[in-house]
Structure 1
Amino acid sequence: MSCFMNDDDPFPADECLFADTFSQESIYQLMGQELKITQLFGANLGVAAPVWESAIQLCRYFEKQRVEWRGRRVIELGAGTGVVGIVAARLGAVVTLTDLPATLPSLEANVRANAPAGGWPSAPPRVLPLSWGEDHAEFPSDWDLVVGADTVYLPETYPRLVDTLVHLCQKKAAVYLSSKMRNEHQTPSFFEEHLPRRFHVQLVDRDHSQNINIYRASLRKGR
Structure 2
Amino acid sequence: MEEERLEMMLGSYGGKVSVLEWETESGAAEETMLLWGIQQPTLSKQNAFVSHSSLQLLLDACGHSLSILQSPSSLGKPGVTGAVMWDSGVVLGKFLEHAVDLGILVLQGKKVVELGSGCGLVGCIAALLGAQVILTDLPDRLRLLKKNVESNFRHGVRGSAAVKELTWGDDPDNDLIEPPPDYVLGSDVIYSEGAVVDLLDSLTQLCRPQTTVFLSGELRNDTVLECFLEAAVKDFVVGRIDQSQWHPDYRSPRVVMYILVKK
* Smaller-chain TM-score bracket: 0.7 to 0.9
1:84 aligns with 2:122: yes
Cα distance in 2 for partners of 1:165, 1:34 equals 31
TM-score by length of 1: 0.81
1:47 is matched with 81
Cα distance in 2 for partners of 1:88, 1:208 equals 19
Cα distance in 2 for partners of 1:137, 1:162 equals 17
What's the CA shift for 1:36? Answer: 0.6
1:59 aligns with 2:102: no
| Mapping 1:29-178, distance limit 5 Å | 29-41=60-72, 42=74, 43=77, 46-66=80-100, 67-118=105-156, 120-123=157-160, 125-136=161-172, 138=174, 139-140=176-177, 142-170=180-208, 172-178=210-216
The change in CA–CA distance for 1:190 and 1:116 in structure 2 (over 3 A counts) is same
Cα distance in 2 for partners of 1:31, 1:115 equals 13
| Mapping 1:201-220, distance limit 5 Å | 201-206=238-243, 209-220=252-263
Cα distance in 1 for partners of 2:148, 2:165 equals 16
Q: Look up the equivalent residue of 2:255 and give its one-letter code.
A: I
What's the CA shift for 1:33? Answer: 3.0
What's the CA shift for 1:72? Answer: 0.6
Please list the CA deviations of residues 53-82 of structure 1 after superposition, one character each: whole Å capped at 9, or x if unmatched: 001111222233223221010000000000
The change in CA–CA distance for 1:162 and 1:200 in structure 2 (over 3 A counts) is same
TM-score by length of 2: 0.69
Aligned Cα root-mean-square deviation (Å): 2.4
Relative to structure 2, which stretch is displaced further, 181-190 or 211-220?
Answer: 181-190
Provide the secondary structure at the position in 2 that maps to 1:194.
helix
Relative to structure 2, which stretch is displaced further, 59-68 or 175-184?
Answer: 59-68
Cα distance in 2 for partners of 1:45, 1:37 equals 22
Cα distance in 1 for partners of 2:192, 2:126 equals 27
Relative to structure 2, which stretch is displaced further, 61-70 or 173-182?
Answer: 61-70
What's the CA shift for 1:137? Answer: 5.7
Cα distance in 2 for partners of 1:71, 1:77 equals 19
Answer yes or no: is the 8 Å Cα contact 1:45–1:102 preserved in 2: no
Q: Look up the equivalent residue of 2:119 and give its one-letter code.
A: T
Which of structures 1 and 2 has the larger relative contact order (alpha carbons within 8 angstroms, sep 6+)?
Answer: 2
Please list the CA deviations of residues 5-30 of structure 1 after superposition, one character each: whole Å capped at 9, or x if unmatched: x749xxx8xxxx9xxxxx70221113
Q: Look up the equivalent residue of 1:194 and give its one-letter code.
A: A
Q: Look up the equivalent residue of 2:70 and give its one-letter code.
A: Q
What's the CA shift for 1:189? Answer: 2.7
Provide the secondary structure at the position in 1 that maps to 2:55.
strand
Cα distance in 2 for partners of 1:156, 1:45 equals 12
Q: Which runs of 5+ in 1 are unaligned?
A: 1-5, 18-22
What's the CA shift for 1:98? Answer: 0.2
The change in CA–CA distance for 1:99 and 1:32 in structure 2 (over 3 A counts) is same
What's the CA shift for 1:121? Answer: 2.2
Please list the CA deviations of residues 86-129 of structure 1 after superposition, one character each: whole Å capped at 9, or x if unmatched: 111122110000000010000000011101423x3243x11111
1:179 is matched with 217
Q: Which runs of 5+ in 2 are unaligned?
A: 1-45, 244-249
